[in-house]
């Protein structure tokens, strides 16, 4: 521990299955980490006590690998759109609604539809604003806040502060940097909304009880966090306009840093403000789900070994498992294009790889056509990123440098925000 830098920061990520914590040096190196599954503490992923216990466990494990008195700043991320009503002490007053829990009250949804601006991310049954409206009449409510706000409150003692990324789906206007006037017209009790700070801005020094509980210094700065999705992007090391990150999981998700905000509701596209830049992205219905429809993981590995990525198959696929596409084409009736099917399985797999690479290329072209910068580099995360043949096909199709990912841990992205906040606070 004696060789560690004089100052360290901590990033904490609470995802759908558990918590992770990392300790980071000022140069971005991860020095220690910890993890805890939510299922170890609660059978219900909506249980805030389970959230906090998993965070405590992950943090203690991470701090066990370093000199915890050197920690200068800490930040937390949470799942986007997960909300709960609390009293002034931060005690939950109802079961939280998770990011994917829809609000069923049609009147509340109609109020949002009628008054929210077209570009707002507050539209939809799973939006933060819909949940805010559902929770605002709970007895003795002090604030309705996001999951990350609540967790950060355990370190500051403040349960009325949020960040610009978590607040976006609750109606926050990142251009004006305030809660917009139209929110009152939805019936929202705006006095119950949290104050909003930029992601990475210092909130306050750590509360004495939290410092004592974790053996941290009394001057640790707690920094405004972000959503888990934004944190995952920041973890990769992408930090310039035109830097893209493709997530090759069940679906294909593309995100790119832009020097200007991009909003296109018809594509489900909106922008998070990150520092003085904007993080825009969209999600296709293509991706790994199509591969899984036709091949087992083992079969994909075996067939990939026989693929020559330098030669096109000559097939023009748009791989989907059923009709309907969100991005880069917005059409609920868009038809899959996966014929003719060659007799050779390796050629068929190659054509699917090429097709998804084509969707990916079109997605970045779409972001540029909507006002974003041209793609200048690409980093890849998710299971598909480990397939060498697919990567070579994508690199040839996209025509930009493929750069290594610094980390796939969202907690590392949140730690980068903590570094930013520590510098702003003058403690690093």
**What number is the average pLDDT over the span 312-322?**
97
Enter the CATH code of domain 241-398.
Answer: 3.30.420.40
The answer on pLDDT for 114 being more than 60 is yes
The answer on pLDDT for 4 being more than 90 is no
The answer on pLDDT for 2 being more than 70 is no
The answer on pLDDT for 369 being more than 70 is yes
Are 8-230+410-425 and 241-398 in the same CATH fold?
yes
pLDDT of residue 365: 97
CA dist 123 → 110, 112, 120, 134, 281 (Å): 10, 6, 7, 14, 17
The answer on pLDDT for 326 being more than 90 is yes
Domain ranges of the chain: 8-230+410-425, 241-398
Range list of H helices, 122-220 = 128-135, 147-156, 164-167, 182-185, 208-214
The answer on pLDDT for 1 being more than 70 is no
CATH architecture of the domain covering 8-230+410-425 = 2-Layer Sandwich (3.30)
Buried b (16+ CB within 10 A) or exposed e, 137-169: ebeebbbbbbbbbbbbbbbbebbbbbbbbbbbb
Digit-coded pLDDT (tens) for 127-162: 999 999 999 999 999 999 999 999 999 999 999 999
% of the chain with per-residue pLDDT over 90: 96
- Percent helix, strand, coil in the chain (nearest 5)? 35, 20, 40
- Residue 16 pLDDT grade (very low, low, confident, very high; cuts 50, 70, 90): confident
Distance separating alpha carbons of residues 166 and 78, to the nearest angstrom: 8
Distance separating alpha carbons of residues 326 and 311, to the nearest angstrom: 29
């Amino acid at each position: 521990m004696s060789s560690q830098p004089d100052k360290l920061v901590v990033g904490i990520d609470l995802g759908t299955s558990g918590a992770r914590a990392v300790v980071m040096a000022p140069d971005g190196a991860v020095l220690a980490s910890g993890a805890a599954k939510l299922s170890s503490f609660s059978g219900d992923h909506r249980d805030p006590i389970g959230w906090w216990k998993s965070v405590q466990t992950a943090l203690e494990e991470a701090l066990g690998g370093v000199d915890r008195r050197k920690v200068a700043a800490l930040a937390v991320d949470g799942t986007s759109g997960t909300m709960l009503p609390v009293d002034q002490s931060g005690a939950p007053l109802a079961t939280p609604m998770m990011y994917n829990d829809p609000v069923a009250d049609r009147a509340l949804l109609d109020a949002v539809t009628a008054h929210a601006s077209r570009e707002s991310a507050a539209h939809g049954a799973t939006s933060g604003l819909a949940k805010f409206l559902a929770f605002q009449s709970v007895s003795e409510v002090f604030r309705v806040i996001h999951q990350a706000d609540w967790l950060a409150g355990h370190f500051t003692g403040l349960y009325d502060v949020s960040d610009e990324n978590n607040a976006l789906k609750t109606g926050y206007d990142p251009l004006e940097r305030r809660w917009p006037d139209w929110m009152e017209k939805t019936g929202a009790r705006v006095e119950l909304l949290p104050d909003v700070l930029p992601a990475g801005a210092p909130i306050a020094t750590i509360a004495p009880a939290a410092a004592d509980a974790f053996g941290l210094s009394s001057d640790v700065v707690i920094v405004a966090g972000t959503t888990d999705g934004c944190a995952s992007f920041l973890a990769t090391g992408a930090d310039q306009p035109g830097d893209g990150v493709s997530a090759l999981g069940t679906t294909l998700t593309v995100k790119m840093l832009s020097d200007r905000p991009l909003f296109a509701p018809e594509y489900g596209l909106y922008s998070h403000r990150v520092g003085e830049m904007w993080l825009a992205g969209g999600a296709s219905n293509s991706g790994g789900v199509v591969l899984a429809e036709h091949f087992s993981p083992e079969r994909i590995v075996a067939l990939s070994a026989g693929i020559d990525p330098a030669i096109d198959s000559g097939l023009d696929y748009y791989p989907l498992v059923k009709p309907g596409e969100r991005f880069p084409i917005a059409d609920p009736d868009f038809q899959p294009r996966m014929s003719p099917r060659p007799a050779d399985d390796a050629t068929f797999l190659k054509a699917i790889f090429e097709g998804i690479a084509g969707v990916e290329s079109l997605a970045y072209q779409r972001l540029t056509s909507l006002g974003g910068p041209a793609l200048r580099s690409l980093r890849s995360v998710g299971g598909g990123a480990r397939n060498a043949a697919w990567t070579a096909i994508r690199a040839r199709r996209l025509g930009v440098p493929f750069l290594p990912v610094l980390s796939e841990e969202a907690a590392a992205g949140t730690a980068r925000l903590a570094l930013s906040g520590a510098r702003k606070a003058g403690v690093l």
